[in-house]
């Protein structure tokens, strides 16, 4: 009898174990060697491990400094907020001691960092985002271990590791940019405690340590930022994998009366569809079904996607390297950690709209650059090395999602720390190539003339490193060499770096800006217009640039002209509205300024005719916003003048114009109250 009972118990235990295994919802981890077999990479490229566990764990950022030293930032805290003083973030120096092109040694540079997510080499150390701070770490004893720490900025949002200060980038304009996801925060610069704090709510962030400046910047990037050769900034958000802010923060806030100061433009020209190779995990499918049921029951026209669309876009990175085929230069690579894939966008400058368009390459219309069938593959970030290759950071986790967004019942069998002992960095390169072991930079003590020459290097990494070192050193002896490069080099990329290297040395002149305003490269003309704001004598030249062949240049001219007043400026802005008024960005650009929202511009548009017609949708929207601003500003003389203009026989019969005027004015007056 006892034996019978024992047999039944064993059988019951076996059945429970069998059923449990049969109902297993989540796959187990694979070794790097096995995981890479699940990759479907674009033909013509190869991929190999560069660094794996235990040398790297939970990587989220990687940089090469001017010496070619490799730093990787590990986010061991993810996805939880660390307790005060108990941060587990870590930075390691990765070393290839046997010179075989692969990492075999790791040294802990710094640890105990809370929620650290990004870093940028600066003056022999590292600037690191570790909310609520941005800190500066440096090794002063040459042992690859940080021994000094300085808090530069503090006050950033720190309650969600997926939505805080991150993605540090050195821009061609000498500013250091960071994504802030629009989160609130009173930011203090500890090097200048007397300066008033900046509230960064609704914006991203930028700063200049060489000038002691910090300010808000338009946009609400999450994790991933790509800056092209001409300073255009593109940023990643979970479901909106690539956005742009064509109008800067300072223009959108010249007065407080715009109906909307939203800067974000979704520039994806191919919607949010991705070609995913993995099914959605159980929890995501179940959560999406529940959400969709709620939307349907509430009769909301909304669709919740569990797969096949961007839901975890991450790490958008500009490819400015020189190792891939030429057609890949200027692409933006973005991972989707939920879809286990890497997507590539080709950026195209709009011909009639200033916002760029992100498109799929012709060879990737029905596939991704890389997609994996391993559900643990989490391509969270990328970097382009001095060798021109693309380095892919794989956080490699069973689950990658903030727990606060998952219903409690679905979390019962989920271990959000499962995978914290893994981490992979892969190197992607053209098929047939091999690791460029000889490409080891040694720029820290490079001669000044060599640094200037590197501003013309075909790889953006070298150009930016050289420009940054020129900025850090402040050696004015290179000014003649920079001036020669700016005026005589045939490569426009070299000219833009030389121009801003001069700016960083306080050697920029009005004559330089006038020359740049005439440059054949639109990106240089666009930057020159921004720089011309320092030199009012350049105004006549800028006035002419509303006729430029590039709409990006015309937009910047419209924005910069708004800093001025006078009949010539009114005429120029009216011409912009007549030619480009159908485009929302141009309407917003003109109306963002006092001059562009004055009754003088409406008087001129009325006098010139043609524009203020019901048949012109741009005119209807322009009048609506114009009237809103007038109402919100609530100056009696402006309201009277506007009413007189709208009673003119030429527009009195235009019913849509009249309705837009009435609606805008009423809404503006309500806002003022």
Enter the tokens of residue 47.
Answer: 């991929």
Higher pLDDT, 80 or 229: 229
Give domain status of residue 350, yes or no.
yes
- Domain check: are 461 and 420 in the same one? no
pLDDT in tens, 178-201: 999 999 999 999 999 999 999 999
- Domain check: are 411 and 482 in the same one? no
pLDDT in tens, 512-561: 999 999 999 999 999 999 999 999 999 999 999 999 999 999 999 999 99
Rounded Cα gap, residues 323 and 462, in angstroms: 13
SS3 368: coil
- Domain check: are 457 and 381 in the same one? no
Provide φ and ψ at 122, rounded to 5°.
-155, 120
Rounded Cα gap, residues 374 and 49, in angstroms: 16
Check residue 351 and give its pLDDT.
87
Enter the tokens of residue 249.
Answer: 């923060």
Q: How far is CA 276 from the centre of its chain?
A: 23
Contact between 592 and 251 (Cβ < 8 Å)? yes
Check residue 436 and give its pLDDT.
56
- Domain check: are 209 and 65 in the same one? yes
Give domain status of residue 470, yes or no.
yes
Q: Which burial class, exposed, middle or buried, applies to 67 when counting CB atoms under 10 A from its CB (0-12, 13-18, 19+)?
A: middle
Domain's final residue, options 455, 485, 508 = 508
Rounded Cα gap, residues 385 and 166, in angstroms: 20
- Domain check: are 477 and 420 in the same one? no
Find the CATH number of the domain harbouring 461: 1.25.10
- Domain check: are 459 and 367 in the same one? no
pLDDT in tens, 133-186: 999 999 999 999 999 999 999 999 998 888 999 999 999 999 999 999 999 999
Please list, in sequence order, all residues whose beta carbon lies within 8 angstroms of the beta carbon of residue 44, skipping any fewer than 6 positions away. 325, 430, 431
Domain that holds residue 131: 47-252+261-430
- Domain check: are 285 and 200 in the same one? yes
Rounded Cα gap, residues 272 and 372, in angstroms: 18
Check residue 164 and give its pLDDT.
94
- Domain check: are 359 and 469 in the same one? no
Closest to 628 (Cα-Cα) out of 578, 591, 585: 591
pTM surpassing 0.85?
Answer: yes
pLDDT in tens, 72-97: 999 998 998 888 888 899 999 999 98
Contact between 313 and 379 (Cβ < 8 Å)? no
Provide φ and ψ at 15, rounded to 5°.
-60, -40
Sheet order of strands, 198-199 included: 116-122, 125-130, 133-138, 148-154, 186-189, 198-199
Q: Which burial class, exposed, middle or buried, applies to 80 when counting CB atoms under 10 A from its CB (0-12, 13-18, 19+)?
A: middle
**Which residues make beta-bridge pairs with 430?**
45
Q: What is the mean pLDDT of residues 632-656?
A: 91
Is it the case that residue 19 has pLDDT exceeding 50? no
Q: What is the mean pLDDT of residues 614-636?
A: 95
Domain's final residue, options 459, 484, 508 = 508
Percent pLDDT > 90 in the chain is 86
**How many Cα atoms are found within 13 Å in the side-chain-facing hemisphere of 123?**
11
Check residue 673 and give its pLDDT.
63
- Domain check: are 151 and 195 in the same one? yes
Bond from prior residue into 628 cis (ω within 30 degrees of 0): no
Enter the tokens of residue 532.
Answer: 């011309």
pLDDT in tens, 391-401: 999 999 999 98
Contact between 316 and 234 (Cβ < 8 Å)? yes
**How many Cα atoms are found within 13 Å in the side-chain-facing hemisphere of 267?**
27
The confidence band for 1, taking pLDDT boundaries of 50, 70 and 90, is: very low
Give domain status of residue 587, yes or no.
no
Is it the case that residue 434 has pLDDT exceeding 80? no
Is it the case that residue 403 has pLDDT exceeding 50? yes
Q: Which residue has the tokens 């029951």?
A: 297
Give domain status of residue 1, yes or no.
no
Give the total residue count for the chain. Answer: 673
How does the average pLDDT of the chain come out, rounded? 93
Q: What is the dihedral of CA 414, 415, 416, 417, to 10 degrees?
A: -170
**How many Cα atoms are found within 13 Å in the side-chain-facing hemisphere of 550?**
21
The confidence band for 115, taking pLDDT boundaries of 50, 70 and 90, is: confident
Is it the case that residue 307 has pLDDT exceeding 50? yes
Give domain status of residue 364, yes or no.
yes
Domain's final residue, options 508, 541, 558 = 508
Percent pLDDT > 70 in the chain is 96
Check residue 672 and give its pLDDT.
62
> Per the structure, how many domains does the chain have?
2
Cβ neighbours of 410 (radius 10 Å): 16
- Domain check: are 404 and 492 in the same one? no
Rounded Cα gap, residues 297 and 285, in angstroms: 18
- Domain check: are 90 and 191 in the same one? yes
Higher pLDDT, 435 or 236: 236
pLDDT in tens, 451-470: 999 999 999 999 999 999 99
- Domain check: are 379 and 486 in the same one? no
Is it the case that residue 419 has pLDDT exceeding 50? yes
Find the CATH number of the domain harbouring 280: 2.120.10.30
Q: Which residue has the tokens 């060499």?
A: 481
Please list, in sequence order, all residues whose beta carbon lies within 8 angstroms of the beta carbon of residue 273, skipping any fewer than 6 positions away. 308, 309
Rounded Cα gap, residues 302 and 134, in angstroms: 38
Rounded Cα gap, residues 74 and 109, in angstroms: 11
The confidence band for 16, taking pLDDT boundaries of 50, 70 and 90, is: very low
Give domain status of residue 400, yes or no.
yes
Q: Which burial class, exposed, middle or buried, applies to 137 when counting CB atoms under 10 A from its CB (0-12, 13-18, 19+)?
A: buried
Check residue 435 and give its pLDDT.
59
The confidence band for 23, taking pLDDT boundaries of 50, 70 and 90, is: low
pLDDT in tens, 581-607: 999 999 999 999 999 999 999 999 988
Please list, in sequence order, all residues whose beta carbon lies within 8 angstroms of the beta carbon of residue 580, skipping any fewer than 6 positions away. 352, 551, 554, 586
Q: What is the mean pLDDT of residues 576-580?
A: 96
Cβ neighbours of 34 (radius 10 Å): 10
Give domain status of residue 81, yes or no.
yes
Give domain status of residue 644, yes or no.
no
pLDDT in tens, 325-342: 999 999 999 999 999 999
Provide φ and ψ at 390, rounded to 5°.
-100, 125
Please list, in sequence order, all residues whose beta carbon lies within 8 angstroms of the beta carbon of residue 1, skipping any fewer than 6 positions away. none
């Amino acid at each position: 009898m006892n034996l019978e009972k024992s047999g039944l118990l064993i059988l019951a235990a076996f059945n429970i174990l069998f059923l449990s295994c049969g109902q297993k919802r989540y796959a187990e981890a694979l070794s790097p060697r096995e995981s890479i077999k699940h990759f479907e990479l674009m033909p013509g490229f190869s991929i190999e491990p560069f660094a794996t566990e235990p040398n790297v764990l939970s990587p989220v950022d990687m940089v090469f400094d001017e010496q070619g030293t490799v730093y990787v930032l590990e986010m061991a805290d993810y996805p939880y907020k660390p307790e005060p003083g108990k941060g587990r973030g870590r930075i390691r120096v990765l070393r290839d001691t046997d010179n075989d092109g692969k990492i075999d040694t790791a040294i802990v540079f710094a640890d105990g960092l809370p929620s650290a997510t990004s870093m940028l080499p600066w003056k022999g150390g590292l600037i690191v985002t570790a909310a609520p701070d941005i800190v500066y770490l440096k090794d002063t004893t040459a042992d690859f271990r940080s021994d000094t720490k300085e808090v530069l900025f503090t006050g950033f949002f720190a309650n969600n590791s997926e939505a805080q200060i991150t993605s540090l980038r050195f821009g061609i304009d000498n500013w250091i940019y960071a994504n802030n996801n629009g989160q609130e925060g009173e930011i203090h610069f500890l090097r200048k405690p007397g300066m008033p704090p900046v509230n960064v709510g609704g914006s991203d962030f930028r700063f200049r340590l060489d000038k002691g400046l910090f300010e808000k910047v338009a946009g609400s990037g999450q994790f991933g930022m790509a800056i092209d050769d001409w300073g255009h900034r593109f940023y990643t958000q979970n479901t909106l994998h690539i956005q742009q802010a064509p109008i800067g923060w300072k223009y959108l806030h010249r007065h407080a009366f715009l109906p909307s100061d939203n800067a974000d433009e979704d520039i994806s020209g191919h919607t949010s569809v991705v070609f995913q190779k993995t099914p959605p995990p159980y929890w995501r499918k179940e959560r999406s079904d529940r959400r969709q049921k709620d939307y349907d029951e509430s009769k909301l026209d909304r669709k919740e996607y569990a797969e096949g669309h961007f839901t975890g876009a991450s790490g958008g990175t500009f490819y400015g390297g020189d190792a891939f085929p030429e057609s890949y230069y200027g692409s933006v690579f973005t991972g989707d950690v939920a879809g286990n894939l890497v997507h590539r966008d080709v950026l195209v400058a709009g011909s009639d709209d200033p916002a760029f368009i992100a498109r799929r390459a012709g060879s990737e219309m029905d596939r991704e650059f890389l997609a994996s069938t391993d559900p643990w593959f989490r391509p969270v970030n990328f970097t382009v090395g001095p060798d021109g290759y693309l380095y892919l950071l794989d956080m490699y986790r069973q689950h990658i999602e903030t727990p606060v967004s998952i219903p409690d019942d679905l979390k019962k069998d989920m271990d959000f720390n499962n995978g914290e002992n893994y981490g992979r960095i892969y190197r992607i390169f053209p098929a047939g190539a091999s690791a460029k072991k000889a490409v080891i930079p040694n720029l820290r003590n490079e001669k000044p003339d060599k640094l200037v020459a590197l501003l013309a290097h075909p790889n953006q990494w070298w150009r930016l490193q050289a420009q940054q070192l020129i900025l850090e050193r402040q050696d004015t002896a290179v000014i003649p060499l920079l001036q020669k490069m700016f005026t005589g080099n045939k490569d426009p990329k070299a000219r833009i770096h030389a121009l801003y290297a001069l700016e960083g040395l306080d050697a920029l002149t009005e004559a330089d800006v006038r020359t740049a305003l005439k440059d054949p490269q639109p990106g240089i003309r666009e930057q020159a217009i921004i720089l011309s704001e320092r030199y009012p004598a350049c105004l006549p030249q800028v006035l002419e640039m509303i006729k430029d062949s590039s709409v990006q240049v015309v937009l910047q001219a419209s924005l910069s002209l708004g800093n001025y007043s006078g009949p010539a400026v009114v005429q120029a802005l009216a011409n912009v509205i007549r030619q480009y008024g159908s485009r929302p960005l141009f309407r917003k650009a003109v109306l963002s300024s006092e001059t562009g929202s004055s009754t003088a511009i409406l008087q001129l548009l009325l006098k010139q005719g043609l524009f203020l017609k019901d048949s012109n949708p741009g005119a209807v929207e322009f009048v609506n916003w114009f009237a809103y601003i007038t109402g919100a500003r609530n100056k009696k003389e402006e309201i009277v003048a506007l009413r007189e203009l709208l009673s003119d026989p030429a527009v009195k019969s235009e019913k849509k114009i009249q309705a837009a005027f009435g609606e805008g004015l009423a809404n503006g007056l309500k806002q003022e109250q």
